Amino acid sequence: MARVAFIGWRGMVGSVLMDRMIAEKDFHGYEPIFYTTSQVGQKGPEIGLDIPPLLDAYDITDLGQADIIVTCQGSDHTKDVYPRLRKDGWKGYWIDASSALRMQDDSIIILDPVNKDVIEKGLRQGIKNFIGGNCTVSLMLMAVGGLFRHNLVKWVSSMTYQAASGAGAKNMRELVEQMAFIGQASQNLLDNPATAALELDTRVLETLHSEGFPKEVFGYPLAASLLPWIDAPMENGQSREEWKGFAETNKILQIKKPIPIDGICVRVSSMRCHSQGLTMKLKKDLPVDEITEIIGNANEWVKVIPNSKEETLGHLTPAAVTGRLEVPVGRIRKMNLGEKYLTCFTVGDQLLWGAAEPIRRMLKITLEHLS
């Protein structure tokens, strides 16, 4: 029976992965072993099976006995443990939510509704590293992958609106603390219906800049504001998150002549779900109905939202989409820029298709490959 090691199961991505695996009754047919970087000897997750206490996620002798390692722990852990395991002769499959190994030549970025052919070819050729893509890239491809598959895309500009949880459990918590802090500081003004809006605005602004404002994790106020920089700077002026759009999309699709993709990535104060406003130049001037059909037929999760105010506000927001596997795309229309220019807006739960779901499905694909 295959031995499958799970690392990082209690973080944001890991806990959504556990929920999805329990919902899909995935914990059977192999031996699951759980690891931790901070709670060795404590109890593992409730998965409906008797499992041993948590093992040390830095112990490569123990990890080296696994046939498959599934990790949602993060890049620092991968960079520490993965090279030591391979150096030690470990030949197993490494399935990872972090970006550490994504761009390596011996890794495939996994998003099977979009690139199952690439994954299967990789398995046949003996590739052992299968890495989840950047969440915004994966969600964009789940949404408009049909246009790429039909070779219709000349270039894409993607302007993102990314949730706090995209940065991890601590960031999500800090966003709520910031909201609570603003609420408390403004409460007496809210209690008086006669308070002028400008007075309320001044109070909120003073609160954002006050001494005790909770911002240790983000470094800046996110609640009642936004942060137009995600991840490290690159030499060309992009942020690393922006750099991933071009590099990862073309690697996922394994396109010979890379398609230009660029934009600005922005952290906003939604809790969960990444949203994107896309501008695309198409190679052909197709009618909107035909484009919509291509988008909507690409996979079983993409859902076209009609371009009306009610449908958009009811179904194309993080509040409507959180916790759902569907990836809605709406606001689809030609732009004033010209007939080949298309715009659309898409929202997806980045913890599902942007992180946990491709990992869950890759584990199943790998187990089937091994059986």
Show which residues are catalytic: 135, 274
| Helix, strand, coil tally for the chain in percent (to 5) | 40, 20, 40
What number of CA atoms fall less than 13 Å from residue 306's CA on the CB side?
A: 4
Q: Rule CB under 6 A: choose which of 4, 6, 11, 245 binds ligand NAP.
A: 11
Q: 322 in helix, strand or coil?
A: coil
Among residues 33, 66, 69, 72, which is the contact residue for ligand NAP, using CB under 6 A? 72
Closest chain position to ligand NAP (CB): 11
Q: Binding mask 88-127 vs ligand NAP (x if CB under 6 A, - otherwise)?
A: ---------xx-----------------------------
For 350, counting Cβ atoms within 10 Å of its Cβ (0-12 exposed, 13-18 middle, 19+ buried), the class is: buried
Among 355, 359, 362, 363, which residue sits at the site for ligand NAP (rule: CB under 6 A)?
355
From 155, 169, 186, select the one nearest 72 (Cα to Cα): 169
Q: Is 268 in the site for ligand NAP (CB under 6 A)?
A: no
Is-contact 56 40, C-beta < 8 A? yes
DSSP code of 133? P
Quote the least distance from Cβ 324 to ligand NAP, whole Å.
15
In 3D space, the residue among 212, 244, 210 whose CA is nearest the CA of residue 230 turns out to be 244
Q: Does 239 bind ligand NAP (CB under 6 A)?
A: no
Question: From the CB of 200, what's the least distance to ligand NAP, in Å?
Answer: 32
Subset of 164-203 contacting ligand NAP (CB under 6 A) = 165-166, 168-169
Q: Whole-angstrom distance between the N-terminal and C-terminal Cα of the chain?
A: 9
Q: Which stretch in 4-12, 199-207, 275-283, 305-313 sits in contact with ligand NAP by CB under 6 A? A: 4-12
Nearer residue to ligand NAP within complex by CB, 75 or 343: 75
Element (H, E) at 269: none
Q: Using an 8 Å Cβ cutoff, are 128 and 238 in contact?
A: no
Shortest gap between Cβ of 322 and ligand NAP (angstroms)? 12
3 state DSSP class of 279: strand
Q: Which of 27, 66, 31 is nearest to 47 (CA)?
A: 27
Q: Does 13 bind ligand NAP (CB under 6 A)?
A: yes
Question: To which residue do tokens 């001037």 refer?
Answer: 285
Smallest distance, Å, CB 328 to ligand NAP? Answer: 18
Among residues 4, 5, 14, 286, the one that binds ligand NAP under rule CB under 6 A:
14
Query: Interacting stretch for ligand NAP, rule CB under 6 A, among 43-51, 163-171, 187-195, 308-316?
Result: 163-171
Q: Which residues bind ligand NAP (CB under 6 A)?
A: 8, 10-14, 36-39, 57, 72-75, 97-98, 132, 135, 165-166, 168-169, 350-351, 354-355
